[in-house]
Structure 1
Amino acid sequence: MDVLVLIGRILFGALFLASGVAHLTQTKAMAGYAASRGVRAPVPATIGSGLLILVGGLSVLLGIWADLGALLLVVFLIPTAVLMHAFWTESDAQARQLEMISFQKDLALAGAALMLLALIAHAGADLGLMIAGPLFDID
């Protein structure tokens, strides 16, 4: 089971690493999109969210307080789903469909991150293949 969880952590964390790097290297373009979605202070929000998912993704991938990393990803994903992918505001059918898919994807990833948080916080050191054990303890 340890190897399967490790592979899952790598695959899951890699998605957020790539996105975090994009937030920090393509800040102007991403901030422009955030501004178009009504995000206030889009440049700081883009940098802050990029750092949040970079730290969360690295934490999960490396297994350093991976439960905290999963929680950081939830903190990013749920507001992002609502703020950036508000499909209910779209009048164009195609745009509505694309935003609905992104909204559902973000919520599904948040659900997976919550499950990962629970798994790691419950299993603790028994899970293995992590650099540092969980920060939280859920029995």
Structure 2
Amino acid sequence: MPFLLLLLGRILFVSYFIAMGMSHLINFREHSLLLKRKGVPLPRAATVLTVVMMVLGGVFVLFDWHGWIGSVLLFGIIFPAPFFLHRFWNETDSYMRLSEFAHMLKDLSLAGAAILLLS
């Protein structure tokens, strides 16, 4: 595959992780409170871990420097997320159920892409 297409794919893939990781850092308190409301254990520590895994994993994949480690970090943070954060089956409002379902599918799709990068 041509280098520019691979580079574009890497940029598009990691842009979500790096942007969200930085958003979690900038809005640390709010994100920690969200995790607490969702029942995530040790929400402050989980927020720190999320920031590190998303940003570091994204940078590793972007520059293809230890890309397999970056892919594992990204998979490790994105695969469990739907089961802790996007439990659409608990929502009673139809719009919220659909929104959480879409987030769950997005996270699972991104986890699949991280696995593809391992091959």
- Normalising TM by the smaller chain, what interval? over 0.9
| 1:47-62 matches, cutoff 5 A | 47-62=48-63
The answer for unaligned runs of 5 or more in structure 1 is 119-139
The offset of 1:98, in angstroms, is 0.6
1:14: how far off? Answer: 1.7
User: Rg larger in 1 or in 2?
Assistant: 1
* % identity of equivalent residues: 36
Which string of whole-angstrom CA distances, capped at 9 and with x for unpartnered residues, describes residues 31-81 of structure 1?
111111111111111111111111100001111111221111110011111
Deviation at 1:7, TM superposition (A): 1.1
TM-score for both structures, normalised by structure 1: 0.81
Instruction: Structure 2: state its 5+ residue gaps.
Output: none
Normalising by structure 2, we get a TM-score of 0.94
Encode CA deviations 1:8-42: one digit per residue, 9 max, x unaligned.
11111121111111111111011111111111111
Aligned length: 118
Letter in 2 for 1:110: A
Partner of 1:99: 100
Distance (whole Å) between structure 2 residues aligned to residue 98 and residue 53 of structure 1: 22
**1:26 alignment partner in structure 2:** 27
Quote the RMSD (CA, aligned, Å): 1.0
Deviating above 6 A after TM superposition, structure 1's stretches of 4 or more consecutive aligned residues are none
After superposition, give the CA deviation of every residue in 1:92-112 in whole Å (9 maximum; x if it has no partner).
211111100000000000011
Q: Distance in 2 between matches of 1:29 and 1:109?
A: 24
